[in-house]
Amino acid sequence: MAACGIDTCVRGMARPAVLAMLLCRVITTTAMAADPDPAAAPPPAAVPQVAVTPTASAARPLHEVIDALVTAAAVGPCAPRCSDADFVRRIHLDLTGVIPTTARVRAFLADPAGDKRTKLVDDLLADPGFARHVMFVLDAMLLERASPSGDLAAAWREYLFSSLVDDKPLDGMFRDLLVSDGSDPAMRPAAAFLLTRDAEPVQLTRAIGRLYFGRDLQCAQCHDHPIDDDIRQAEHQGLYAFVARTSLFRGKDNALLASEKADGEVDYQSVFTKEGEKGVWPRLPGGMTLVDEPRPEPDAAYVTEPTKTSHGVPAFSRRAALAARLADDHGFRLNLANRIWAIFFGRGLVHPLDGIGPDNAATHPGLLLRLAEALREQGFRLRPLVREIVLSETYQRSVEPPGHDEVSAVEIGARVTSLEGERIARTAALETLEQAAAAAETRRQEAVAATRAVHVDRLARLTERDAASKAAAAATAAAATTSADLTRARTVSDALAGAAAQATRAVELTAGDAALQSLAATLAERASAKGRQAEAVAQAHAEKQAAADTAMGALTAARGAAEDATARLGADDLARVEREAVAARRAATVAAQEVRRLDARIQLARDLLAHADFVGTDPAAAAVAWQSIVDRWTDAGQVAALRALSPEQLALSVQQATGALAARQANAAAAIDKAPPEALAKASADERDDIRAMQVEMRMVKDASGLLRSAATLFGDTLSDGFQASVSQALYFGNAPDIQGQLAPSGSNLVATLAAMSEAAAVADEAYVAVLSRPPADDERADVAAFLDARPHDRTQAIAELVWALVSSNEFRFNH
- Which spans of this chain sit near another protein (rule: CB under 8 A)? 146, 197-198, 200, 203, 206, 216, 351-352, 354-355, 399-401, 620, 623, 642, 644, 713-737, 740, 779-780, 783, 787, 797, 801-802, 804-806, 808-811, 813-814, 816
- Among candidates 812, 554, 545, which has minimal Cα distance to 658? 812
Shortest Å distance, C-beta 165 to another protein: 31
Helices (H) and strands (E) in the chain, counts: 31, 10
Q: Measured from the CB atom, is 484 or 624 closer to another protein? A: 624
User: What is the three-state SS of 763-799?
Assistant: HHHHHHHHHHCCCCCHHHHHHHHHHHHCCCCCHHHHH
Amino acid at 639: V
**Residue 655 CA, distance from chain mean position:** 30
Shortest Å distance, C-beta 663 to another protein: 21
Q: Measured from the CB atom, is 61 or 355 closer to another protein? A: 355
- My answer on whether omega of the bond before 358 falls inside 30° of 0, hence cis, is no
Shortest Å distance, C-beta 257 to another protein: 17
Shortest Å distance, C-beta 437 to another protein: 26
Q: Measured from the CB atom, is 641 or 691 closer to another protein? A: 641
CA dihedral of residues 393, 395, 399, 400 (deg, nearest 10):
10
CA-to-CA dists, residue 199 to 49, 196, 518, angstroms: 46, 7, 80
Reduced to 3 states (helix: H, G, I; strand: E, B; else coil), residue 61 is strand
Shortest Å distance, C-beta 11 to another protein: 32
Shortest Å distance, C-beta 810 to another protein: 5
Q: Measured from the CB atom, is 518 or 809 closer to another protein? A: 809
Shortest Å distance, C-beta 772 to another protein: 9
Q: Are 622 and 615 in contact (CB under 8 A)?
A: yes
Interatomic CA distance for residues 659 and 549, integer angstroms? 83
Q: Measured from the CB atom, is 248 or 669 closer to another protein? A: 248
Amino acid at 133: H
Residue 572 burial (CB < 10 Å; 0-12/13-18/19+)? exposed
Shortest Å distance, C-beta 315 to another protein: 29
Enumerate the H helices of 196-317 as residue ranges. 201-213, 233-243
Shortest Å distance, C-beta 622 to another protein: 12
Q: Measured from the CB atom, is 201 or 677 closer to another protein? A: 201
Q: Measured from the CB atom, is 114 or 722 closer to another protein? A: 722
Residue 46 burial (CB < 10 Å; 0-12/13-18/19+)? middle
Q: Measured from the CB atom, is 425 or 736 closer to another protein? A: 736
Interatomic CA distance for residues 36 and 693, integer angstroms? 40
DSSP for 428-447?
Answer: HHHHHHHHHHHHHHHHHHHH
Q: Measured from the CB atom, is 130 or 715 closer to another protein? A: 715
Q: Measured from the CB atom, is 124 or 361 closer to another protein? A: 361
Shortest Å distance, C-beta 187 to another protein: 23
DSSP for 94-126?
Answer: HHHSSPPPHHHHHHHHH---TTHHHHHHHHHHT
